[in-house]
């Protein structure tokens, strides 16, 4: 008998290790030998720890399982009897069934540490095809897919790779941005813990495409499980010849290592990330030169988010056009959307671009966990805009969000119920920028401090209208005058809070007058 239980940090945090060991022991006590496979997570966090039993080619789920449930569940498994936590075939659960999993195709299904399992589930096909292609042909395939950077800026990946391919240098690098600093995001972590070989394959393809023979994965220190999973997978890939002087038996050399960040939001910004890998303080570099021309150690560098690189093996194995067939407008392919905050069904939902915000939050996410009405959602991390339910017909699409003064970012959606104070959230946006600013430019370094002070005056009911005007002016200065998006985008949450929830600011004037 085979039993699958996630070893993902999210599942482990709610007791998956204990459930796994106790279930194996309980089944053995009942005379049933079971092989327990620790997988990645399926991304249905409200069901974790999710236990899956293989039966007649299908996986039958139980969840969320606590150690106290183990004896009864073991009994149900052995006798084939029912149990209140039985979920039926996992693939039939509406949250999973409604998804199109291209990037997360194997996550929650395979043993993430087994290269054989990876290969048995379609892994390495993209790399094998790339080995027989020229760099320009690979870049052309990625361009045809319409893939845009999943780290935040949505820049076309094919154009970035083409620039590095065409830049002549004695060395080039592939850097994977796994800093994943945005609030409410966890997709990078889930890939690294649940299907690390897909990232290694994507980076190796990128290396072959642009002529780079070394890569770095920059992982935030708060992700110890992901760091370990990637290090083990890199070693396994190296020992099987997927990495090393002859990638997959080809004439291409490519190897990589993990670098651990020290914990700064700004180290997710690509140029300060490069500074950090070089052993310096996370400090934003002025552009130009672009990292594609002069990046890590002064060499041409592809820097991509985990999800961008993890999408590449599918694009190479199935063809760029197949990927591009999904999506809407200029947002092609699928996006692993992360539902978080005060939400009933939080988790990872991979879907083609185009679903509306309302469908994602209300239908798929099931509304708030508190059961109270949704009042606001923040999309795209701490620099993303807040949207009220009146804007829930907004389709998940880069251009549609930009036209609504928002951004998709890394596709994290954080939900708030009607107890949220949006003036307080605006203050927090400025405070976050103040704490995380690298300090290089004045609009961000000083603007965030002054912005926080101005909002505090509004909160105290002090000349509210005049201070709102001053805040708008300050937001303009930060937006136009900041060197990077930390200072430049902090106005998004502040202004969207002001625009969509003005009553939370003006209530202070009324309260002060009374």
Ligand X SMILES: Cc1cc2nc3c(=O)[nH]c(=O)nc-3n(C[C@H](O)[C@H](O)[C@H](O)COP(=O)(O)O)c2cc1C
Cβ proximity to ligand X, 3 vs 266, nearer residue: 266
Per rule CB under 6 A, is residue 450 in the interface with ligand SF4?
no
Binding ligand SF4 (rule: CB under 6 A), the pick from 18, 445, 450, 463 is: 445
Per CB under 6 A, does 484 bind ligand SF4? yes
Write out the residues near ligand X by the rule CB under 6 A. 149-153, 155, 177, 179-181, 265-266, 268-270, 303-305, 308, 484-486
Q: Using CB under 6 A as the criterion, what x/- string covers residues 193-222 for binding ligand SF4? A: ------------------------------
Contact of residue 150 among ligand X, ligand SF4, none (CB under 5-8 Å per partner type) = ligand X
Q: How far is the CB of 416 from ligand X (least distance, A)?
A: 22
What is the C-alpha radius of gyration for the chain, rounded to an integer number of angstroms? 24
224 or 439: CB nearest ligand SF4 = 439
Residue with tokens 């969509």: 500
CA distance 105 to 315: 13
- Map tokens 């085979």 to a residue: 2
* Interacting residue with ligand SF4 among 10, 64, 295, 487 (CB under 6 A): 487
CA distances (Å), 365 to each of 70, 193, 338, 357, 413, in order?
28, 23, 10, 10, 10
Query: Which ranges in 30-152 belong to alpha helices (H)?
Result: 70-79, 94-97, 115-120, 125-131, 135-145
Backbone phi and psi for residue 418, each to the nearest 5 degrees, phi listed first: -75, 5
**C-alpha distance from residue 348 to each of 84, 138, 152, 380 (Å):** 25, 29, 17, 15
The Cα 274–Cα 439 span in angstroms is 17
Complex with ligand X: residue 106 or 150, whichever CB lies closer:
150
Query: Cα(374)–Cα(174) distance, rounded to whole angstroms?
Result: 41
Residue with smaller CB distance to ligand X, 297 or 418: 297
Q: Minimum distance between the CB of residue 288 and ligand SF4, rounded to whole angstroms?
A: 15
Tell me which DSSP letter residue 11 carries.
H
Burial (Cβ within 10 Å: 0-12, 13-18, ≥19) of residue 205: buried
Stretch that binds ligand SF4, among 58-66, 112-120, 186-194, 441-449 (CB under 6 A): 441-449
Q: Which two structure tokens, joined as six digits, stand for 316?
A: 């190479």
State which residue, 85 or 302, has the beta carbon closest to ligand X.
302
Position among 483, 494, 497, 498 found at the interface with ligand SF4 (CB under 6 A)? 483
Contacts of ligand SF4 in 249-288 (CB under 6 A):
266, 284
Q: Is 383 in the site for ligand SF4 (CB under 6 A)?
A: no
Pick 85 or 284: Cβ nearer ligand SF4: 284
Which two structure tokens, joined as six digits, stand for 460?
């105290």
Secondary structure, 3-state, 176-203 = EEECCCCCCCCHHHHHHHHCHHHHHHHH
Minimum distance between the CB of residue 328 and ligand SF4, rounded to whole angstroms? Answer: 32
- Going by C-alpha positions, the residue among 288, 266, 308, 281 that lies closest to residue 174 is 308
Q: Give whichever of 337 and 441 is closer to ligand SF4, judged by the CB atom.
A: 441
Element (H, E) at 378: strand 374-379
DSSP state of 244: B
The entry of ligand X, ligand SF4, none that residue 304 binds, CB within 5 to 8 Å by partner kind: ligand X
Q: Considering beta carbons, is residue 9 or 486 the nearer one to ligand SF4?
A: 486
Q: In this complex, which beta carbon is closest to ligand SF4, that of residue 337 or of residue 444?
A: 444
Point out the residue whose Cβ comes nearest to ligand X. Answer: 149
The single residue listed with the structure tokens 């002069």 is 294
Distance CA 216, CA 272 (A): 14
Distance CA 181, CA 343 (A): 20
Cα–Cα distance measured from residue 225 to residue 219, given in angstroms and rounded to the nearest whole number: 11
Stretch touching ligand SF4 by CB under 6 A, among 149-157, 348-356, 417-425, 435-443? 435-443
Which of 334, 437, 477, 496 contacts ligand SF4 by CB under 6 A?
A: 437
d(CA 239, CA 193): 19
For ligand SF4, how many residues bind (rule: CB under 6 A)? 14
Phi, psi of 319 (to 5 degrees): 100, 140
Binding-site partner at residue 153 among ligand SF4, ligand X, none, CB < 5 to 8 Å by type? ligand X
User: If contact means CB under 5 to 8 A according to the sort of partner, which of ligand X, ligand SF4, none does residue 445 touch?
Assistant: ligand SF4
Tokens of 88: 């039926």
378 binds, among ligand SF4, ligand X, none (CB under 5 to 8 A by kind): none
> Does the protein bind ligand SF4 through residue 307 (CB under 6 A)?
no
Residue 486 touching ligand SF4 (CB under 6 A): yes
Residue 441 in contact with ligand SF4, rule: CB under 6 A: yes
Q: Rounded CA gap, 382 and 404, in Å?
A: 17
* Residue 444 is a binding residue for ligand SF4 (CB under 6 A): yes
Nearest approach in angstroms of CB 490 to ligand SF4 is: 8
- DSSP letter, residue 156: B
CB of 181: closest distance to ligand X in angstroms? 4
Q: How far is the CB of 343 from ligand SF4 (least distance, A)?
A: 30
Residue ranges in contact with ligand SF4 by CB under 6 A:
266, 284, 437-441, 444-445, 482-484, 486-487
């Amino acid at each position: 008998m085979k039993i699958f239980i996630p070893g993902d940090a999210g599942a482990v945090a709610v007791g998956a290790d204990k459930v796994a060991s106790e279930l194996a022991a309980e089944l053995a006590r009942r005379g049933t030998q079971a092989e327990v496979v620790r997988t990645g997570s399926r991304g249905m966090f409200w069901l974790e720890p999710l236990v899956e039993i293989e039966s007649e080619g299908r996986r039958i789920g139980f969840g969320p399982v606590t150690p106290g449930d183990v004896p009864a569940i073991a009994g149900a498994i052995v006798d084939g009897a029912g149990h209140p936590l039985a979920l039926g075939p996992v693939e039939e659960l509406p949250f999973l069934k409604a998804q199109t999993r291209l990037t997360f195709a194997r996550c929650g299904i395979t043993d993430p540490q087994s290269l054989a399992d990876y290969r048995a589930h379609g892994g390495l096909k993209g790399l094998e095809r790339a080995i027989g292609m020229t760099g320009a042909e690979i870049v052309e395939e990625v361009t045809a897919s319409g893939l845009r950077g999943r780290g935040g800026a949505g820049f076309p990946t094919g154009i970035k790779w083409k620039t590095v391919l065409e830049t002549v240098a004695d060395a080039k690098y592939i850097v994977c941005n796994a800093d994943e600093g945005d609030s409410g995001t966890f997709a990078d972590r889930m890939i690294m813990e649940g299907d690390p070989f897909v990232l290694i394959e994507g980076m190796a393809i990128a290396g072959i495409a642009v002529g780079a023979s070394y890569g770095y994965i920059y992982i935030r220190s708060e992700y110890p499980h992901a760091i370990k999973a990637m290090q083990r997978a890199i070693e396994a890939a190296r020992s099987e010849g997927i990495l090393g002087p002859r990638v997959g038996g080809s004439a291409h050399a490519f190897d990589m290592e993990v670098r651990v960040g020290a914990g700064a939001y700004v180290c997710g910004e690509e140029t300060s990330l490069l500074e950090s890998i070089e052993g310096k303080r996370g400090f934003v570099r002025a552009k130009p030169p672009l990292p594609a021309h002069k990046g890590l150690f002064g060499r041409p560098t592809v820097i991509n988010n985990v999800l961008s690189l993890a999408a590449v093996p599918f694009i190479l194995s199935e063809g760029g056009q197949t990927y591009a067939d999904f999506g809407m407008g200029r947002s092609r392919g699928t996006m692993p959307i992360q539902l978080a905050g005060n939400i009933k069904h939080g988790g990872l939902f991979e879907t083609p671009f185009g679903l509306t915000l309302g469908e994602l939050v209300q239908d798929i996410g099931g509304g708030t966990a508190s059961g109270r009405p949704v009042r606001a959602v923040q999309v795209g991390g701490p620099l993303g805009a807040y949207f009220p339910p009146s804007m829930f017909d907004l389709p998940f699409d880069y251009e549609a969000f930009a036209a609504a003064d928002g951004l998709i970012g890394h596709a994290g959606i954080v939900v708030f119920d009607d107890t949220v104070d949006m003036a307080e959230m605006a203050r927090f946006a400025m405070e976050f920028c103040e704490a995380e600013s690298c300090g290089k430019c004045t609009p961000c370094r000083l603007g965030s401090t002054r912005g926080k002070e101005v909002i505090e005056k509004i909160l105290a009911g002090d000349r509210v209208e005049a201070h709102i005007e001053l805040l708008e002016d300050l937001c303009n200065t930060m937006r136009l005058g900041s060197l990077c998006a930390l200072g430049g985008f902090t106005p998004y949450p502040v202004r969207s809070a002001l625009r969509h929830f003005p009553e939370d600011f003006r209530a202070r004037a009324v309260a002060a007058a009374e």
